[in-house]
Structure 1
Amino acid sequence: MDHDSDENLHSLRITARGAKAAIEIDGKRVDPGALSGYTLTHREGEPPQAVLYSGDYVDSVFEGLARVSVADLPDPGPAAAVFLSAIDAEELERSALARPDLGTGPHSLTQAMLTQLVEWARGL
């Protein structure tokens, strides 16, 4: 990337108060409902970079020049598919049936299996 030229940089102002933030790019306010968040990074020798996420805000204030990118949140489907394909069905059933919170009502085994999968996904 060519960081020597200011032509690719935009003026960025972020003012956050509580759960709300006002974001301006080149003096134009971004619709608050259009974004779900943002990240700011800055590496030595490079201009700061702001990444804006589509559809609440983080408490922060930033004002200056930055390269601005608008990003969509990654699709969790492919990562979920990889995780689920690595699950041993016997181990899942055994673990779900051994859970102390396994109920006796309709769908309780399915609920126990889903709870077990969430725990495994979190590394518990």
Structure 2
Amino acid sequence: MDHDSDENVHRVQITARGAKAAIEIDGRRVDPGALSGYTVSHREGEPPQVVLYSGDHVETIFEGMARVAVADVPGPGPAAAVFLAAIDAAELERVALARPDLGTGPHSLTQAMLTQLVEWARGL
């Protein structure tokens, strides 16, 4: 298949600097405020694919042809299981007991441990 003449293939230019990027499709700049991100992938024998992620609270209108794929967002269970399996129980207990927000009421240690796990999951 000759992808160079495929009408669904568009010229894309991405200029990225640090956490910011300017994206143009067929010479038209995409409003950066309308996007929450993008990915670029490329498989041998196929044209590169650019996926634009629209912002959560932005009304966005794109014109033109697009390939559409629907994917299920994976449930958090498997990732949570891997994360929890890597936790050192003694370290969790030590850190939770040393938290300044550890209360004295029922379930305070459990709450401190859950709060600590959330912080570790977020990389804090």
- Normalized against structure 1, the TM-score is what? 0.57
Would you say how many aligned residue pairs link Structure 1 and Structure 2? 91
Bigger relative contact order (CA 8 A; separation at least 6): 1
CA distance in 2 between partners of 1:97 and 1:46 (Å): 51
Answer yes or no: is 1:71 the counterpart of 2:105. no
Identity of aligned residues (%): 67
> In structure 1, the residue corresponding to 2:68 is in which secondary structure?
strand
Tell me the residue number matched to 1:115.
Answer: 115
List gaps (5 residues or longer) in structure 2: 9-35
Runs of at least 4 residues of structure 1 off by over 6 A? none
**1:76: Cα distance to partner?**
1.2
Tell me the residue number matched to 1:89.
Answer: 89
**Structure 1 residues 44-83: Cα deviation after superposition (integer angstroms, max 9, x where no partner):** 95565578xxxx9542221111100111111211111111
CA distance in 2 between partners of 1:113 and 1:2 (Å): 57
CA distance in 2 between partners of 1:101 and 1:40 (Å): 39
List gaps (5 residues or longer) in structure 1: 10-37
Task: Give the superposed CA RMSD.
Answer: 3.4
Native 8 Å contact 1:49 1:68 kept in 2: no
- Normalized against structure 2, the TM-score is what? 0.57
More strand by share: 1
